[in-house]
Amino acid sequence: MASIGPLITVIVYGILLGEPEQGMAELMDSTAIDLDSLISNFVSRTAEVLLAVIPLYFIFILMQKYILHYTWRDFRIMIIGLFFAGFGMIVFLVGIYSAFMPLASIMGSHMIVNNYGLAILLFGMAPGFLVVIAEPSIKILSMQAEKTSNGMLTRKSITLAVAFGVSILVGSGMYALSQGLMSIYYLLPLYALAIVMLWLMDKDMIEISYDAGGVATGPMSVAILMTMCAAISRAVPGSGSVGAFGAISLIALAPILSLSMLGIYIRIKKKIKSSKEET
């Protein structure tokens, strides 16, 4: 549900806005790698994180005073944990903006300029797989799904299913983008397939599949894969960076399709097991 709200509001905004007069190259152009940009990113990211987490700290303190009533020792450990969480977010974002995004942009442009052709498919699949494996939100989802599924699913099976799904769709999406084929006609059949698979998969897998679609578009995947796609889109003659944003929909859709397939397999497996028990 958290994904549907932004989707609807952005579609409505796009209808009201109409056709943009200029592309978004300035927004996605992040190829500078130097000390000044590193310092600038550190200052900017620190301000952003503090603005985000300080209100949360105050909320937690109020909850501690009026609701939680933890001991001073537990409260102190949580405050230290929150500090490290905020510091970790700053370091993580500085690394993303100062290293991963510029490198991803350079890689994307390099593949088009040097006419990699079908090799773009493989170069898209490799980071698509590795980024999902490294995505913190996927680790959290797989851990929670393993706990709630009573052993039906494992962390490894969920992570690998999501990683392979993202790898295949992102690789094919990058190649389609490089050929100027990324459009609504590329995306709509995949969304239609996801809807059809709702009726075929195990019902217990529906929520996990669609939640995975939301968490797969985390900071690692968006920063690296979208930046690479934006660079590819800019380098293709007659294309603009806006087309690259369709790749993020593929990242969100891939886990839904791959886990839906896993859900179909689980449903078949359950039917076979129940039929054996009846006989």
Q: Which of 20-24, 71-75, 162-166, 214-218 has the lowest mean pLDDT?
A: 20-24
Q: Is the pTM of this model over 0.75?
A: no
- The answer for residues whose C-beta is within 8 angstroms of residue 56's C-beta and 6 or more apart is 82
- For position 114, what pLDDT does the model report? 87
Angle between helices 35-63 and 72-95 in degrees, nearest 10: 150
- For position 18, what pLDDT does the model report? 56
Question: How far is the CA of 95 from the CAs of 42, 87, 112, 135, 144, in angstroms?
Answer: 9, 12, 25, 14, 28
- The answer for residues whose C-beta is within 8 angstroms of residue 168's C-beta and 6 or more apart is 125, 128, 254
How far apart CA 249 and CA 245 sit, in angstroms, is: 7
For residue 106, the SS3 value is helix
The two structure tokens encoding residue 171: 């690789």
How far apart CA 169 and CA 261 sit, in angstroms, is: 14
pLDDT by residue (tens digit) across 96-135? 888 888 888 888 888 888 888 888 888 889 988 988 888 8
240 DSSP 8-state letter: -
Q: How many CB atoms lie within 10 A of CB 169?
A: 24
pLDDT-based confidence at residue 226 (cuts at 50, 70, 90) = confident
- Residue 208: what residue type? I
Please say if the pLDDT value at position 32 is more than 60: no
Angle between helices 155-178 and 246-278 in degrees, nearest 10: 140
